[in-house]
Chains A and B, each alone.
Chain A
């Protein structure tokens, strides 16, 4: 059943449809909050969900539920200065320097990431090592699965600008996960 069907059912009073919308889209909104907020701000997320569900019921929601919740969450965090804008530490230099005979080759071999190391806490900790603008793109595009147009409406960055930071964000994120795996 599509989100549009669920929204129509919720408007007609089917509470199970509301529960299904929450089950589908609340987890990613909680993940985005944990990845992007400087501190615990769960009341903001609850408020956003109340607003969005109210608009679904009233038939006035302008966009899809997921994009709308994530957009409003990010806007609320920004408005209240709750985005985690602290600059992350500079990335570790993983390659031999230009002065070395083997310049550009690995200093130390990267460790292999095992499935049990790809947990929610480890992913969130590694995300916090990615600069906030790039982190937001990574969360919206790769974790939430929004397309570039939906992300543009949220972050006011066009597809080219998103792609430019997404590549670096992904590599930085995987680098940190890899570094943590090797400890």
Chain B
């Protein structure tokens, strides 16, 4: 893969495997070199990293409903 000529569409298709460290080294190098000279792809790659990074925190943060909390609140064991 030539990073100077490979299209953004192909690079975007590699984001997930790059993120997981699953790209072969040559493809990984081409991916990274493309990002160095392509701000839109770099933006999308950064969006991907941010969104996947924030997902577990956001998904695991909310209040337990009162009816379930009441099962264990203030009652002797």
A residues neighboring B (CB under 8 Å): 13-16, 18-19, 22-23, 26-28, 30-32, 42, 46, 49, 53, 94-95, 103-106, 109-113, 115, 118-120, 123, 139, 142-145, 166-167, 170-171, 173-174, 177-178, 181
Q: Given the complex, which residues of B lie within 8 Å of A178, measured CB to CB?
A: 44, 47
Cβ contact of A110, chosen from B19, B43, B65, B77, cutoff 8 A: B43
A35 → chain B closest CB, angstroms:
8
B36 part of interface (Cβ distance < 8 Å): no
Q: Choose among A18, A166, A170 the residue that contacts B72 (Cβ–Cβ < 8 A).
A: A18
The interface residues of chain A lying within 8 Å CB-to-CB of B40 are: 106, 109-110
Partner of A113 from B15, B50, B59, B72 at Cβ < 8 Å: B50
Interface residues of B (CB under 8 A from A): 7-10, 12-13, 15-17, 19, 39-41, 43-44, 46-48, 50-52, 54-56, 58-65, 67-69, 71-73, 75, 77
Q: Is the CB of A115 within 8 A of B50?
A: yes
Chain B residues positioned under 8 Å from A27 (CB to CB)? 59-64
Chain B residues near A15 (CB-CB < 8 A): 71-73, 75, 77
- Are B44's CB and A174's CB within 8 A? yes
Assess whether A143 is in contact with B54, with CB atoms less than 8 Å apart: no
Question: What number of residue pairs across chains A and B have CB atoms under 8 A from each other?
Answer: 124
State which of A95, A109, A142 has its C-beta within 8 Å of the C-beta of B56: A142
Q: Contact between B62 and A30 (Cβ–Cβ < 8 Å)?
A: yes
Question: Chain A residues near B9 (CB, 8 Å)?
Answer: 94-95, 104-105
User: Measured between C-beta atoms, what is the minimum distance from A82 to chain B in Å?
Assistant: 18
- B contact residues around A13 at 8 Å (CB): 77
Q: List 17 A-B contacts (CB under 8 A).
A: A15-B77, A19-B64, A22-B72, A27-B60, A31-B58, A31-B60, A49-B68, A95-B8, A103-B7, A118-B58, A120-B62, A123-B55, A142-B52, A170-B19, A171-B13, A174-B47, A178-B47
Contact between B65 and A46, CB atoms less than 8 A apart: yes
CA distance A123 to B54 in the complex (A): 10
**Among all A-B residue pairs, the 7 with the closest Cβ atoms:** A104-B7, A13-B77, A143-B59, A167-B16, A104-B9, A19-B72, A31-B59
**Cross-chain contact A173 with B51 (CB below 8 angstroms):** yes
Across the two chains, which residue of chain B brings its CB closest to A104?
A: B7
